[in-house]
Structure 1
């Protein structure tokens, strides 16, 4: 389980590409690597990956084809950075919201609005996924737990403070970039349940 509080960014040192499979070696330092062990879960841009090898600060992760096709991790090149969050531990403060590390869909950044003290980003989603996007609700974007601002058609925005911009990839994101999305699981469960109940009522009417 993750909380959506990204602790920092890590550089991808190398990528080994095979058929329908990739191995990423990422440099984790400081608190990002503290107490890390083989088998540990680490979120990369919000996607839960498992540690397979450790060589000092160089930590290895394997990515299956499903992960590559469903996330923006397939677009990484050596030297790129990813948002990193270590798995939550029992007793940790939950500063964001509960996240599983399972990516729901990829959104595209369509507009970046900069102001002196913050930045607003607009995202485009498939229309059928917008039922999970509610104003003032939670959403996970590249592993960050964020509050949804405005919702218009199949687009929504978030407002980012300087701390988020400095600590995460959002300080570098541009129009056209693809971002991993994890919908709030409680919102998704409620929407899906209501839809199922309504469908059953219509069938039995």
Structure 2
């Protein structure tokens, strides 16, 4: 489990490809290797990967075929910068939102513009993700916890403050860039409950209203 608060930017040191649909990443990092163990979870551009090995200057992780297909990790090259976050600790502050590291798909930046001190991005996602987009709701973009300011069908708008733009890779991305998208897991859980409700106890809008939930 992650929070979407990026700890540092790492750099891809090497990429090995043991098969056509899998890669082995070695990433240079400083902060996230503190207290690291083999088997730990690290979010790389919002994608939960398992530490296979580490040394004094970074760590290595394998990327499975399904992850390659669903995320933008397939576009990484040697020297690429990546957002890094260790799994959240139970004794630390929780500054973002619940992020699982299980990417729902990718989005494309279709517009980038600035207003005062804020950088705005319009991002287009697949139609199947449209139902999870909620104005003023939460979303993780390349692992960064952000708020949706506007939603227009399958296009949403996010805004970055200068600090977030400087400490994450989002600040360097522009029109046409591919980003990893993880929608709010709470919204997905509610959808799952609604889709599996029985006729005798139908969990719909009326039921929630009767129980005083909404």
Counterpart position of 1:118:
118
Cα distance change of structure 1 residues 166 and 199 upon mapping to structure 2, 3 Å threshold: farther
Work out whether residues 33 and 58 of structure 2, in 8 Å CA contact, stay in contact via their aligned partners in 1: no
Query: CA separation in 2, counterparts of 1:14 and 1:116?
Result: 38
Aligned Cα root-mean-square deviation (Å): 1.6
The structure-2 alpha-carbon separation of the partners of 1:23 and 1:199, relative to structure 1 and needing over 3 Å to count, comes to: farther
How far apart, in 2, do the equivalents of 1:181 and 1:192 lie? 19
Distance 1:138 1:198, change over 3 A: farther
What is the aligned length?
200
- Any idea what the Cα deviations from partners look like across 1:130-187, whole Å, max 9, x if unmatched? 1100000001110011110101121001011011101101110111111111111111
* Other-structure match for 2:161: 161
Under a length normalisation based on structure 2, what TM-score does the superposition of the two structures give? 0.89
Deviation per residue, 1:44-94 (Å, 9 max, x gap): 001000111112113111111111111000100000011000111111111
What does residue range 93-112 of structure 1 map to in structure 2 within 5 Å? 93-112=93-112
2:44 maps to which residue? 44
Equivalent-residue separation in structure 1 for 2:198 and 2:96 (angstroms): 31
**Distance in 1 (alpha carbons) for counterparts of 2:152 and 2:198:** 25
Contact kept in structure 1, 2:135 and 2:148, CA below 8 Å: yes
- 2:194 alignment counterpart: 194
Q: How does 1:176-195 map to 2 (within 5 A)?
A: 176-195=176-195
Q: Does 1:62 align with 2:62?
A: yes
Aligned to 2:187, the other structure's residue is in SS state helix
Alignment of 1:50-89 (within 5 A): 50-89=50-89
Secondary structure of the equivalent of 1:175? Answer: coil
Question: 1:9 maps to what in 2?
Answer: 9
Cα shift at 1:196: 4.4
CA contact (8 A) 2:150 2:158 kept: yes
Q: Please identify, of 84-93 and 183-192, the stretch whose mean Cα deviation from structure 2 is larger.
A: 183-192
Question: What's 2:26 paired with?
Answer: 25
List runs of 5+ in structure 1 lacking aligned partners. Answer: none
TM superposition outliers: structure 1 runs of 4+ over 6 Å: 198-201
TM-score by length of 1: 0.93
- Note the C-alpha offset of 1:192: 3.4
Runs of 5+ consecutive residues of structure 2 not aligned to the other structure: 203-214
